[in-house]
Amino acid sequence: MADNTTEQTHTESQIFLSTRGGDYGLSFETVVLKGLAADGGLFLPHRIPTANDWQSWKDLSYPDLAFQILSLYIARSEIPAEDLKGIIDRSYSTFRAEEVTPLAHLHDNLYLLELFHGPSYSFKDCALQFLGNLFEYFLVRKNEGKEGKGQLADRPADRHHLAVVGATSGDTGSAAIEGLRGKKDVTVVILHPKGRISPIQEAQMTSCPDANVLNLAVTGTFDDCQDIVKALFNDPETNKKLKLGAVNSINFARILAQIVYYFYSYFSLAKKSSTFKVGDKVRFVVPTGNFGDILAGYFAYRMGLPVDKLVIATNENDILDRFFKTGRYEKKPAHGHEAEGGLKKDGVEAHEDGAKETLSPAMDILVSSNFERLLWFLASEFVATAGMDDEWNNKQAGQEVAAWLKDLKTKGGFGPVYKDVLDNARKSFESERVSDPQTLETIKATYQKIGYVLDPHTSVGVTAALRSINSVGQSVPHISLSTAHPAKFAGAVELALKGEQGFDFAKVLPQEFVELEKKEKRVSTVNNDWQTVRDVVIKQVEKEVGA
């Protein structure tokens, strides 16, 4: 299915396809507003652009660098340069740090990329401030000259009203609310697993007083919430009635905006380190759940950034680590892991009923939704060996991915994938699995060594980084991504640091969080059932725009 707007004016990296082969040749605007493809797949550009001049970006400010990178994926005919600059400037002016994502030196050749200086104190702000402004930009343009509040039925004179529905294990929700609260023509409904997010995360979301925001506590896990969101997008009736928008990393704009900080931190490293120069290789270590953050690193690498390896750091919900060790992608570990590497079994329960609850709750995810995008790249490189043209390769890759995902849905997993596919994946990625006791130990050891307080997700990353340094040595610098502020996870941080000399949690607590939990909460509990959620969303939109 080709989109008329994409002819002539777009490069191959500015038009998009579905990972399952159903859509082809779509514009950036279509992809951002649709979120998920009609065939259930995720959107990807036809090609990842090679940034031949990336070294010339080394002294750019964060917004100027973002403009260079985003322009490779967004045609000027869709968003003129001045407009894109405006969207970017507005998005990063809300950050507390001048550099937006500063790089801290932990010790030796280990650096921490602090991604938590945005309004909601996690890395999600880096993309969701941008996505919020992007939605607003497209809606203002679509609704120019249109009167009234907008309707549910699709009549040409009506305003376009976006019903944003998102699933969160705590951080996407508050970042999406910060990005969209009070915006015209947008309703925001956020689903979180009841009782499985931290008290501060819950308070951040449920204390929002804006009328266009609705919080739903689902009696289930994060994966249940993610499944409900996907079911809504996949239901033609719901799509006809509501114009659904996605804030999860299924939305390609999320991945796109996250590419920027890989380049930015690389250049920061070259400025900070006397031994590292632009052109040298670096390892990025990324605490991983839905695979969105590290996928952005993969894009940066494919665009030309000198990356030695991308290290996936999982908590005890280790589907990704098991894939890289065995080639099987399975919700539940199979018995008798005879495959290479085997499974580490340090007391982890089998995933009978979904993800295990850990001290890094935002990563308590059984199925990593963005892994499908990596699978598409792996499949397309595998089929390319047949020597056919790009269009054939892309379609073929779509079929391969659709078959894998069908097995995941119907049989709970697939694999082992072909050896060549796994070997190819291992060229760019390594993986580490970090248990709760190890997470606590690293928070404690880091505090004792340099007085720095890590959040538990960041600690999963730093633990993996230390193992990676142990195996490759100090000569390759490691940038470990710090994905959240420690104050969001008081329970784990206090558990690790109680009794440590000089430690006082109040000292790490930002002013905004003081008394936050005492504020009035606006939240409704709903059953784990997509039709119930659909009805609640429709009611909320009707309340805002009329039936």
Ligand X SMILES: N[C@@H](CCOP(=O)(O)O)C(=O)O
Binding mask 111-130 for ligand PLP (x = CB under 6 A): -----------x--------
Query: Is residue 457 at the binding interface for ligand PLP, with CB under 6 A as the rule?
Result: yes
109 binds, among ligand PLP, ligand X, none (CB under 5 to 8 A by kind): none
With respect to ligand PLP, which residue has the nearer C-beta, 74 or 484? 484
Q: How far is the CB of 291 from ligand X (least distance, A)?
A: 8
Query: Is residue 483 at the binding interface for ligand PLP, with CB under 6 A as the rule?
Result: yes
The answer to whether 97 touches 86, Cβ cutoff 8 Å, is: no
Residues 228 to 267: which contact ligand X by CB under 6 A?
A: 248-249
Binding mask 369-408 for ligand X (x = CB under 6 A): x---------------------------------------
Q: How far is the CB of 289 from ligand PLP (least distance, A)?
A: 4
Query: Is residue 293 at the binding interface for ligand PLP, with CB under 6 A as the rule?
Result: yes
Binding mask 327-366 for ligand PLP (x = CB under 6 A): -----------------------------------xx---
Binding mask 275-294 for ligand X (x = CB under 6 A): --------------xx-x--
Binding mask 153-182 for ligand X (x = CB under 6 A): ---------------xxxxxx---------
Q: How far apart are CA 313 and CA 321, in angstroms?
A: 8
Query: Is residue 458 at the binding interface for ligand X, with CB under 6 A as the rule?
Result: no
Query: Is residue 291 at the binding interface for ligand PLP, with CB under 6 A as the rule?
Result: yes
Nearest to 330 by CA among 426, 415, 400, 406: 415
With respect to ligand X, which residue has the nearer C-beta, 373 or 478? 373
Q: How far is the CB of 184 from ligand PLP (least distance, A)?
A: 28
Q: Determine the length of the chain.
A: 547
Radius of gyration of the CA atoms of the chain, in A: 22
101 binds, among ligand PLP, ligand X, none (CB under 5 to 8 A by kind): none
Task: Kindly give the residue spans of alpha helices, DSSP state H, lying in 327-455.
Answer: 371-383, 390-411, 419-428, 436-450
Residues 153 to 172: which contact ligand PLP by CB under 6 A?
A: 171
Distances (CA, A) of 368 to 65, 195, 261, 373, 453: 29, 21, 21, 10, 27
With respect to ligand PLP, which residue has the nearer C-beta, 26 or 362? 362
- 307-314 and 213-218 beta bridge pairing: unpaired
248 binds, among ligand PLP, ligand X, none (CB under 5 to 8 A by kind): ligand X
378 binds, among ligand PLP, ligand X, none (CB under 5 to 8 A by kind): none
Task: Kindly give the residue spans of alpha helices, DSSP state H, lying in 44-123.
Answer: 62-71, 81-92
List CB contacts of 366: < 8 A, sequence separation 6 or more: 221, 223, 317, 319, 331, 351, 354, 355
CB atoms under 10 Å from CB of 47, counted, come to 14
With respect to ligand X, which residue has the nearer C-beta, 421 or 484? 484
The answer to whether 79 touches 253, Cβ cutoff 8 Å, is: no
Task: Kindly give the residue spans of alpha helices, DSSP state H, lying in 72-214.
Answer: 81-92, 125-142, 171-180, 199-206
Q: How far is the CB of 363 from ligand PLP (least distance, A)?
A: 5
Q: How far apart are CA 536 and CA 199, in angstroms?
A: 24
Q: How far is the CB of 240 from ligand PLP (least distance, A)?
A: 30
Q: Which window, 85-93, 208-216, 288-296, 465-473, contacts ligand PLP (CB under 6 A)?
A: 288-296
Residues 267 to 286: which contact ligand PLP by CB under 6 A?
A: none
Can you tell me which residue has the tokens 């659909």?
534
Q: How far is the CB of 169 from ligand PLP (least distance, A)?
A: 6
Residues 289 to 318: which contact ligand X by CB under 6 A?
A: 289-290, 292
Out of 287, 327, 415, 477, name the contact with ligand PLP by CB under 6 A.
287
H/E element holding 218? strand 213-218
Tokens of 339: 């495959």
398 binds, among ligand PLP, ligand X, none (CB under 5 to 8 A by kind): none
Q: How far is the CB of 288 from ligand PLP (least distance, A)?
A: 4
Out of 228, 362, 460, 541, name the contact with ligand X by CB under 6 A.
362
124 is catalytic: yes
Q: How far apart are CA 457 and CA 443, in angstroms?
A: 10
457 binds, among ligand X, ligand PLP, none (CB under 5 to 8 A by kind): ligand PLP
- 162-167 and 243-246 beta bridge pairing: parallel
- 110-114 and 413-414 beta bridge pairing: unpaired
- Catalytic option among 34, 124, 194, 243: 124
Can you tell me which residue has the tokens 């495959």?
339
Q: Which window, 52-60, 269-277, 287-295, 410-418, contacts ligand PLP (CB under 6 A)?
A: 287-295
Distances (CA, A) of 363 to 76, 287, 313, 347, 413: 36, 8, 10, 19, 20
Q: How far apart are CA 90 and CA 540, in angstroms?
A: 28
Q: How far apart are CA 41 and CA 20, in angstroms?
A: 5
Number of alpha helices (DSSP H) and beta strands (DSSP E) in the chain: 19, 15
CB atoms under 10 Å from CB of 62, counted, come to 22
Binding site for ligand PLP (CB under 6 A): 122, 171, 249, 287-293, 362-363, 457, 483-484
Which positions are annotated as active-site residues? 124
Binding site for ligand X (CB under 6 A): 168-173, 248-249, 289-290, 292, 362, 369
